Amino acid sequence: MATVATDYTNKVKVTDEVAEFPESVVEEMRSHLTKYPKDRSRSALIPLLFVIQRERGYIDNPGVNYLAQFLNLEVTDIWETATFYSMFNMHPVGKYHIQMCKTLSCKIMGEPELTDHICSKLGIKAGETTEDGKFTVTRVECLGSCGTAPMMQIGFDYHENLTKEKLDQIIEECE
Ligand code: FES
């Protein structure tokens, strides 16, 4: 299976373009602001980044420019938060974004073999997306579920105590 490489070392192309959103999405973003004190609107940044990612597919430059204007912040304020968390993607990812935890507990419990297994099954390397856009595999830092290592995250779901057999079954169930 051919693959599409996702080079996470590539710099994001910075432009002045500002994203546009339907009124319903703008309304949703405004509703996040109401959850925080008026002088603490920056606190809404994480939920707003999730909205940008959902609407744009990933955290892109026009989306960041929009948020900077929306929150009256510098674009660097947005980027420094967005790039800190592995839950935000700076590049397009597949429909199923498989994030394998590569930190100590998971590594000791077999993560490298599991990542090799899933990559070989999908015909890609870690950091790549299948050509059909269905799967992306990335290796991420601790996802906070060390007691059920080895584990991975797909979308918002955790899959724990993984084995090769369990991995195969999860992949089979991805439509
Ligand atoms: S080390 Fe994998 S969840 Fe913490």
Q: Which residue has the tokens 């420094």?
A: 80
What is the three-class DSSP state of 144?
coil
For residue 134, the CA-to-ligand 1 centroid distance in Å is: 25
- What local confidence, expressed as pLDDT, does residue 28 receive? 98
pLDDT: is 3 or 71 the higher one? 71
Please work out whether the CB of residue 149 comes within 6 Å of at least one atom of ligand 1.
yes
Q: With beta carbons less than 8 A apart as the criterion, state whether 45 and 85 touch.
A: no
Q: Is 14 in the pocket of ligand 1 (CB under 6 A)?
A: no
* CA pair distance 84, 6, nearest whole angstrom: 18
Ligand 1 site, residue 86, Cβ cutoff 6 A: no
* Ligand 1 in reach of 143 Cβ (< 6 A): yes
Residue pLDDT, tens place only, 110-125: 999 999 999 999 999 9
pLDDT of residue 175: 80
Res 86: pLDDT: 84
> What residue segments make up the domains of the chain, in order of their start?
12-82, 96-173
The reported pLDDT for the residue numbered 152 is: 98
Residues with Cβ within 8 Å of 118's Cβ and at least 6 positions away in sequence, in order, are: 98, 100, 137, 167, 171
pLDDT value of residue 15: 82
Q: Is the pLDDT of residue 2 over 70?
A: no
What residue has token string 């599991």? 114
- 96-173: which CATH architecture? 3-Layer(aba) Sandwich (3.40)
HEC sequence for 20-64:
CCCHHHHHHHHHHHCCCCHHHHHHHHHHHHHHHHHHHCCCCHHHH
**Pairwise pLDDT comparison (51 vs 13), residue with the higher score:** 51
Q: Is the Cβ atom of 140 under 6 angstroms away from ligand 1?
A: no
Cα separation, 97 vs 125, whole angstroms: 13
Cα–Cα distance measured from residue 137 to residue 58, given in angstroms and rounded to the nearest whole number? 15
- Partners of residue 153 on adjacent β-strands: 99, 158
Enter the pTM of the model: 0.83
User: Using 50, 70 and 90 to split pLDDT, how confident is the model at 11?
Assistant: low
Nearest atom, ligand 1, residue 101 CA: 2
The sign of the dihedral angle between the CA atoms of 137, 94, 29, 84 is positive
